[in-house]
Amino acid sequence: MARPTPLSGFPEFLPADRFAEQHVLDHLRRTFELHGFASVETRAVETMDQLLRKGEIDKEVYVLRRLQAAETEGDAGLGLHFDLTVPFARYVLENAGKLEFPFRRYQIQKVWRGERPQEGRFREFAQADIDVVAKDELPFHFDVEIATVMAEALSGLPVPPLRIQVNNRKLLEGFYRGLGVEDTAAVMRVMDKLDKLDEAAIRELLAKEGLDPDQASKCLALAAIRTRDSSFADQVRALGVSHPLLDDGITELAQLVDALAELRLDGVSVTADLRIARGLDYYTGTVFETELEGFEHLGSICSGGRYEKLADDGRNVYPGVGISLGVTRLLVPLVSRGHLTTSRAVPSAVLVALVDEESRPTSNAIAQRLRARGIPTEVAAAPQKFGKQIRYAERRGIPYVWFPATEEAADQVKDIRSGDQADADADTWNPPADDLRPAIITPADSPAHTRGATS
C-alpha cells in the first residue's frame, strides 16, 4: 500500500500534541463537573428530520448510506450531527421523564460538517458544550452561571488570552423597537454584517429596511458601544431610545458583565460588546462570543446564548442557556504553529533498562512496583547497550532511566536531562510531580506567554 496522505478538514494529532489536547479536555471536564454539570454523550447520528429543523445549516450535513443497502433502500435516513445542541434538545425530549430539571449537562464530542474540502475548514471537529435546560421557566441567574463556568474553564487553558464578548438580544430588539423599526430581525441581520461591510454599505442596507439616516446613526452608535463593566448602560440611555424590552436587556446584560468582571480570571477578559448579535441563531436573550488574541481571524471560538425554546414537545417548553467551545478550532492552529505541545510522545516517566533478555522479569517487576504507585513506566524493548537504551528514552522524551541492581551496585535511577544518577528504591522513589505526566509546552515566543497582560 502506498503511504496515505492526510484528508483535508479531518485533523489528527501526533502523540505529544494529543497529550496537550487531553490536558485541555481533562481541565474542561474537571471544571464542568466541579460545577455540577453531568456528562452526556449522544450518538453521532440523528434522523434527517431532526437535523433539518434548523434550516440554515442543512447544506453541511453528511448523510449516511449502508454500503450494501439494496438499490431501492436508499439512504439510511440518518445524518451525522453538525453540532451538539440539536442532539441535546432531542435527548432532553426523549428522556424528559427521567431527567431532573433544571438539568446541567456538559458534552464533549466530535461533530461533522459536509463542507467542500478546502484549507482551514474543518469537516470533523471536537466541541465542548455546557447547557442548563429547565422545564417551562429558566431564571436569568443561569445565564450568569453558564458564563461563569465557561470563563473559569477557559481561564485555565494553556492558550493565548481570550476575550469574551457578551450582549443581549432583548437589548437590541428593544432598542430597535424603541426606534420605531418594524422588521427588527432584518435590522439585526444587517447589523450582524458590521464585520464584513463598511459603514456606508450598512447605512445603505438599513435604508432599504426603511430606516432614516437618524435611525441608522443610532443603530451604528449602539453597535459601537463596548465597556468592561455595566457603564455601557449609561451610554445606551444617552442615545435617547426607550422601550420596556430595552430596559430588560440592559438589566440582564449589566448583571452578567458585572458578575464576570468580579471573577478577575487570569487570561480571560470580558466585555459588554453591543455589536454582537449572532444573527443566524435563534437566541432570545444573552449572547456570547469569544476571540483568541492574535488569532482573531479564526472568528469566535466559544459562542452561545439563551434560547427561550431549546426544545418543545407540545406539552412542555424547555428553555435553555448554553455555550460551546470549539476545541479543535482553538487547538489545531496553536499546535500546527508550534504554540502548544508537550514534553514527550509517551506517558512513561521512567524507562526501566534491560540487562539481558533473561532478566526481563526483573525489569518488569521493577516497572510494576513503580506503576503500583502511579508512575507511568515502560521497560526497554531490547537489551541494547545502556547508551542506546538511554537514547531510546531520549527520543521519546522519557525523563528517567532506571538501572536494575547488579552484583556491584543497588538499583539506580538517572535523570537523563541533567545526567544525575543515584541509588533508588522502586517502592519509595518518586519523580518530581512535574515529571509525572507530559508537561505542557508553550514556547516563550508564543502569544501564550503574554497571558494576563490584557486582563
Task: Find the shortest distance in angstroms from Cβ 306 to a second copy.
Answer: 16
Beta bridge partners of 381: none
Beta carbons within 10 angstroms of residue 293's beta carbon = 18
Q: Is 273 annotated as a binding residue?
A: no
Task: Find the shortest distance in angstroms from Cβ 22 to a second copy.
Answer: 6
Distance in angstroms (rounded) separating the CA atoms of residues 448 and 340:
9
Q: Which of residues 152-181 bind a second copy (CB under 8 A)?
A: none
Q: Is 283 annotated as a binding residue?
A: yes
Q: Is 329 annotated as a binding residue?
A: no
Q: Site for a second copy (CB under 8 A): how many residues?
A: 90
Q: Which of residues 417-446 bind a second copy (CB under 8 A)?
A: none
Under rule CB under 8 A, residue 4 binds a second copy: yes
Question: Considering only 88-96, 224-232, 268-276, 441-449, which stretch makes contact with a second copy by CB under 8 A?
Answer: 88-96
Task: Find the shortest distance in angstroms from Cβ 329 to a second copy.
Answer: 16
Residue from the set 120, 139, 338, 443 that interacts with a second copy by CB under 8 A: 139
Question: Considering only 30-38, 199-207, 234-242, 245-253, which stretch makes contact with a second copy by CB under 8 A?
Answer: 30-38
Q: Is 85 annotated as a binding residue?
A: yes
Q: In terms of DSSP H, where are the helices of 193-312?
A: 199-208, 213-223, 232-237, 244-263
Question: Taking the chain, what is the end-to-end CA distance rounded to the nearest angstrom?
Answer: 53
Task: Find the shortest distance in angstroms from Cβ 149 to a second copy.
Answer: 10
Question: Considering only 170-178, 214-222, 319-327, 341-349, which stretch makes contact with a second copy by CB under 8 A?
Answer: 341-349
Q: Which amino acid is at 121?
A: R
Cα separation values, 260 from 143, 155, 253, Å: 11, 12, 11
Q: Which of residues 376-395 bind a second copy (CB under 8 A)?
A: 376-378, 381-382, 395
**What beta strand segments (E) does 253-411 contain?**
268-273, 286-292, 302-312, 317-326, 341-342, 350-352, 377-379, 400-403
Nearer to a second copy, 33 or 182 (CB): 33
Q: Is 247 annotated as a binding residue?
A: no
Is the Cβ–Cβ distance between 284 and 320 less than 8 Å? no
Q: Which of residues 312-331 bind a second copy (CB under 8 A)?
A: 312-314
Beta carbons within 10 angstroms of residue 451's beta carbon = 20
Distance in angstroms (rounded) separating the CA atoms of residues 197 and 289:
19
Residue from the set 8, 221, 396, 440 that interacts with a second copy by CB under 8 A: 396
Distance in angstroms (rounded) separating the CA atoms of residues 204 and 368:
73
Nearer to a second copy, 205 or 379 (CB): 379
Give the three cell numbers for residue 183: 422588521
Task: Find the shortest distance in angstroms from Cβ 430 to a second copy.
Answer: 14
Burial 234-248 (b: 16+ CB within 10 A, else e): ebbeebebebebbbb
Residue 95 zone, left/alpha/beta (φ > 0; ψ -120 to 50; rest): alpha
Under rule CB under 8 A, residue 58 binds a second copy: yes
Under rule CB under 8 A, residue 280 binds a second copy: no
**Residues for the chain: how many in total?**
455
Task: Find the shortest distance in angstroms from Cβ 367 to a second copy.
Answer: 8
Q: Is 30 annotated as a binding residue?
A: no
Q: Which of residues 95-134 bind a second copy (CB under 8 A)?
A: 95-96, 98-100, 102, 104-105, 110, 112, 114, 116, 124, 134
Binding residues: 83-85, 113, 127, 131, 278, 282-283
Positions at the binding site for L-histidine:
83-85, 113, 127, 131, 278, 282-283
